Amino acid sequence: MKTYKNKLGDTDTLLYELGLVALGIGIAAVLLYFFTGISVLSLNYPCVFNKVTGLCCPGCGGTRAARALLKGQILRSIYDYPPLIYAVVVYIVFMVRCFLYRHFGIRKSPDGAVIKYMYIFVALMLIQWVVKMVAQLCFHYYWFA
């Protein structure tokens, strides 16, 4: 059985490779739009959580935020789903640092540090969800259309 030795830690390697897959999917979506005019972000799938409960889900606003961010509307993106900007910045920093470490040996962050950033993302997601739930249930203010 062949073992795979790498310079990055196991968690960072897995996340880096998943990040490359995500980048590939993003590039494919851009090429699809460029050559066919089909925008993946324009497809509207109903949120099952919202349809069943009538409440917003923890990810409510993510697609709208991604659309706004791609249009350069950063404040609108933050309004719709604040964790998205954080996730994009962490993704870019992590991928660049792993690339530099893998290919040039430039120092990387400690192994597993990205897990801490994921916990921060989950906390941001839950905080924004609670704020949206309070706004919806107490003040009848709805973020979603």
Residue 51 lies in a domain: yes
Residue 36 lies in a domain: no
Residue 76 lies in a domain: yes
- DSSP one-letter string for the chain: ------SS-HHHHHHHHHHHHHHHHHHHHHHHHHHH---GGG--PPPHHHHHHSS--TTTTHHHHHHHHHTT-HHHHHHH-THHHHHHHHHHHHHHHHHHHHHH----PPTTHHHHHHHHHHHHHHHHHHHHHHHHHHH---S--
- Give the chain's domain count: 1
pTM: 0.77
Q: What digits encode the pLDDT tens for the residues 33-91?
A: 888 887 777 767 777 887 888 778 888 888 888 888 888 899 999 988 999 999 999 99
Residue 39 lies in a domain: no
Residue 29 lies in a domain: no
